[in-house]
């Protein structure tokens, strides 16, 4: 558990200060799991007997944010390099009427607090001062057995927060664990209740799954526990088509979320289906544009070796070119097809400067206007024709571009 990261050191400092003020304070949740697994923790959460107002008084109102004070949660801001630590008062929770948030909370002991958490591997506490794990839910044994298990009654844990169904899949896949049988059964039986979870929360879990190296297993688990048809009902149920998609996912190397999602949706029409899916998941405009473009253009380079230079350069000048090539690469690999188009593009990019692939235009709209041409339907077509001549290495100066423009307009 040794680590000298600024974030961890600041979290220990928070624990020390709470203890010095007479409170119990422990690391809690996912950071404990990651520390026990020898993995770097993404963030550090502290659980304490201190009430929210005591935490704010102790660390100062300027350094704290009451983002969840009604639930006992205060953010303590650290130095820039350390980030922040979430400090939560040990609590029990009342009934969940909306499948997401409890109607009430009551402050309690660490043992009671552990029982409200989602999975045993996330329900442990760690004392960083005495280097001691406090495990009231069997998390250590489940870590050793590589099992994701709900704390207590899995149906009750899912009723409290329906997103826990997707979280169960994500933790199982990303940790390469097994999903405990009773927990899996509860997810299958309650899968249809995922519909009450906001699109943003579902998309957040999907992103974490798709950028992880175990993305194929995550999607397979989603299908196994009946969640995939609820998240992406548009996906084909044809076994051979699904196997190609799963192979593509497994072949991706550290993809962006957009590339991974485009691979998952590659068999669907870009518009309106893929576009509508992105909108339904409340993805950003940039994410939507990139995913939709990748799916729409996934075959544009399939005949790259025989394309005109103009057509090839236009595609290779696109902002998502690298993702497009990788999408085609995994698709060809997944279907055992000839990789020549991808290899051709790799070689062409390696030996061709970007200034040649996407040179400044020799002809602009302003130049055409200066020649006495008025903007209209033929205006854009003329610009495109001259641009093609430039990209095909047929012309190399503005004078030559003007000559072509005069010739074409005189012919018309």
Strands 45-48 and 84-89: parallel
- For 56-68, the three-class secondary structure string (H helix, E strand, C coil) is HHHHCHHHEEEEE
Tens digit of each residue's pLDDT (9 = 90 or more) over 118-151: 999 999 999 999 999 999 999 999 999 999 999 9
What separation in angstroms does the CA of 151 have from each of 39, 70, 121, 146, 256?
23, 24, 9, 15, 33
User: Global pTM?
Assistant: 0.90
End-to-end CA distance of the chain: 77
Contact 308, 295 (CB under 8 A): no
Q: Which of 163, 200, 166, 195 is nearest to 282 (CA)?
A: 200
Class of domain 151-231: mainly alpha
Structure tokens at 300: 């544009």
Residue bearing tokens 């055409």: 368
Q: Please tell me whether residue 120 adopts helix, strand or coil conformation.
A: helix
Q: How far is the C-alpha of 289 from the C-alpha of 286, rounded, in Å?
A: 5
Dihedral class, residue 29 (left if φ above 0, else alpha if ψ from -120 to 50, else beta): left
Average pLDDT over residues 349-359: 97
Dihedral class, residue 266 (left if φ above 0, else alpha if ψ from -120 to 50, else beta): alpha
Q: Which of 287, 286, 292 is nearest to 274 (CA)?
A: 292
Confidence of residue 90 (pLDDT cuts 50, 70, 90): very high
Q: Which of 344, 352, 412, 347 is nearest to 382 (CA)?
A: 412
Find the DSSP H helices in 99-174: 110-115, 139-145, 154-160, 164-174
Residue 373 has pLDDT above 90, yes or no: no
Residue bearing tokens 């948030």: 101
Residue 104 has pLDDT above 70, yes or no: no
Contact 19, 26 (CB under 8 A): no
Q: How far is the C-alpha of 370 from the C-alpha of 406, rounded, in Å?
A: 12
Contact 193, 162 (CB under 8 A): yes
Q: How far is the C-alpha of 36 from the C-alpha of 27, rounded, in Å?
A: 12
Average pLDDT over residues 280-302: 98
The pair phi, psi for residue 16, each rounded to 5°, is -60, -45
Residue 32 has pLDDT above 90, yes or no: yes
Q: Would you state the CATH architecture of domain 1-145?
A: 2-Layer Sandwich (3.30)
Tens digit of each residue's pLDDT (9 = 90 or more) over 244-266: 999 999 999 999 999 999 999 99
Higher pLDDT, 371 or 184: 184
Dihedral class, residue 44 (left if φ above 0, else alpha if ψ from -120 to 50, else beta): beta
Residue 61 has pLDDT above 50, yes or no: yes
């Amino acid at each position: 558990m040794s680590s000298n990261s600024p974030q961890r050191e600041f979290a220990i400092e928070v624990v020390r200060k709470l203890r010095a003020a007479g409170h119990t304070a422990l690391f809690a949740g996912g950071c404990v799991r990651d520390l026990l697994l020898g993995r770097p923790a993404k963030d550090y959460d502290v659980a304490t007997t201190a009430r929210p107002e005591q935490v704010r008084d102790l660390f100062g109102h300027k350094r704290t944010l009451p983002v969840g004070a009604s639930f006992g949660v205060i953010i303590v801001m650290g130095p820039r390099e350390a980030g922040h630590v979430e400090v939560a008062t040990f609590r029990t929770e009342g009934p969940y009427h909306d499948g997401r948030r409890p109607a009430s909370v009551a402050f309690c002991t660490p043992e009671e607090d552990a029982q409200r958490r989602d999975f045993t591997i996330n329900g442990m506490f760690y004392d960083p001062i005495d280097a001691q794990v406090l495990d009231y839910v069997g998390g250590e044994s489940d870590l050793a057995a590589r099992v994701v298990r709900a704390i207590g009654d899995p149906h009750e844990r899912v009723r409290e927060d329906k997103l826990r169904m997707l979280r169960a899949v994500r933790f199982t896949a990303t940790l390469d664990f097994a999903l405990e049988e009773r927990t899996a059964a509860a997810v299958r039986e309650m899968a249809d209740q995922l519909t009450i979870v906001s699109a943003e929360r579902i998309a957040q879990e999907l992103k974490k799954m798709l950028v992880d190296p175990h993305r194929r297993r995550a999607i397979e688990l989603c299908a196994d526990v009946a969640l995939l048809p609820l998240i992406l009902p548009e996906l084909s149920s044809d076994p051979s088509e699904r196997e190609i998609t799963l192979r593509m996912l497994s072949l991706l190397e550290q993809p962006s979320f957009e590339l991974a999602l485009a691979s998952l949706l590659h068999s669907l029409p870009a518009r309106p289906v893929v576009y509508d899916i992105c909108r339904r998941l409340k993805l950003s405009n940039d994410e939507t544009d990139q995913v939709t473009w990748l799916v729409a253009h996934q075959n544009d380079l399939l005949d790259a070796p025989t394309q005109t230079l103009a057509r090839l350069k236009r595609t290779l000048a696109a902002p998502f070119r690298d993702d497009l090539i990788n999408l085609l690469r995994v698709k060809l690999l997944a279907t055992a097809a000839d990789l020549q188009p991808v290899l051709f593009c790799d070689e062409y990019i390696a030996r061709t400067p970007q200034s040649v692939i996407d040179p400044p235009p020799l002809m602009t709209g302003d130049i055409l206007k200066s020649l006495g041409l008025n903007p209209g339907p033929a205006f854009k077509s003329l610009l495109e024709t001259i641009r093609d001549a430039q990209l095909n290495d047929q012309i190399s100066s503005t004078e030559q571009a003007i000559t072509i423009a005069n010739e074409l307009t005189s012919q018309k």
